[in-house]
Amino acid sequence: MGTTSFLNGARALLRVRNQLARECLAELLAVFVLILITLSGSAQMVTSSGTKGNILTAYLAGALAVMVAIYTAGGVSGAHLNPAFSLAMCLLEQFPWWKFPIFVAIQTLGAFISAGAVYALYYDAIRHYSNGTFATSGPRETASIFATYPADYLSLSNGFLDQVMGTALLIVGILAILDTRNKGVPKGLEPVAVALLVFSIEVSMGSNCGCPINPARDFGPRLFTYVAGWGAEVFRWVRGKG
């Protein structure tokens, strides 16, 4: 009886009643889950030199991470997870503009914190693989675990087109899945359909830039690598490529 009363009291004390705060916490947790699984898939592939994962398993981890993240926060915040999606919702007048900068900040913060968690989880593996040197290029680079970098052949204009097209396809696909006028996805399986959409984009448009299609997913972890020891090189400007 005493334990039950204590738990009920603690639950009531910790309950967040403000709707905006609930949405922000849900979005933060969902992005944390998304990036934790996504970057861990990359870390396992890179630090094992491909023996415990490959590009396909990394893409699959990223797609399944989207599914888990949507199930985590979909009922509270809508699980935007992505500033590009939040912007699209604002343009379609389905999301208030005043919430947009708040969601972008929360999404970026969640990605930054999650990158730190992956860094801690794979710290020994990263140090062992890189011989203790945090590099952004070369045969033992590890920066690509956290952020995406353009292929050597890619021009700035082609890279811009790559990201615009990939992100646009993501937004159009999500809107089509959620549109009740279309052939509906069985209720409760929408996150699965979105995960398959993400996977299809990754395996078809991933070679140019690594297919981030999410500004928060790329900038948050990139900022973490900057402060964690990879240095300003993670924000390097390569002439003609960006």
Please tell me the distance from the alpha carbon of residue 140 to that of residue 133, in angstroms, as a whole number. Answer: 8
Q: What is the pLDDT of residue 139?
A: 86
pLDDT tens digit sequence for 111-163: 999 999 999 999 999 999 999 889 888 889 999 999 988 888 888 889 899 99
Please state, rounded to an integer, the average pLDDT across all residues of the chain: 89
Residue 7 has pLDDT above 70, yes or no: no
When mean pLDDT is compared across 26-30, 202-206, 238-242, the lowest value belongs to 238-242
DSSP SS3 for 191? helix
pLDDT top residue among 187 and 121:
121
Q: Is the pLDDT reported for residue 205 higher than 70?
A: yes
The pairs formed by 139-145 with CB atoms below 8 angstroms and a separation of 24 or more are 142/46, 142/47, 142/230, 143/225, 143/230, 143/233, 143/234, 144/42, 144/46, 144/210, 145/39, 145/42, 145/43, 145/46, 145/47, 145/118
Predicted pLDDT at 2: 60
CA distance 135 to 145: 11
Rounded to two decimals, what is the model's pTM?
A: 0.90
| Alpha carbon distance 101, 162 (integer Å) | 25
Residue 13 has pLDDT above 60, yes or no: no
* DSSP structure class, residue 186: P
Q: Decide if 40 contacts 121 (C-beta within 8 A).
A: yes
Burial class (CB in 10 A: 0-12, 13-18, 19+), 10: exposed
Q: Which fold has domain 16-235?
A: Glycerol uptake facilitator protein (1.20.1080)
pLDDT: which is higher, 65 or 150:
65
The whole-angstrom separation of Cα 113 and Cα 204 is 29
C-alpha to C-alpha distance for 106 and 120, rounded to whole angstroms: 21
Least confident of 40-44, 75-79, 194-198: 75-79
The SS3 assignment for 181 reads coil
**Amino acid of residue 109:** L
pLDDT-derived band at 239, boundaries 50, 70, 90: low
And the tokens for 84? 């590009």
**Domain edges within the chain:** 16-235
Whether pLDDT at 237 is above 70 = no
Q: Cβ of 171: how many Cβ atoms within 10 Å?
A: 18
Q: Is the pLDDT of residue 58 over 60?
A: yes
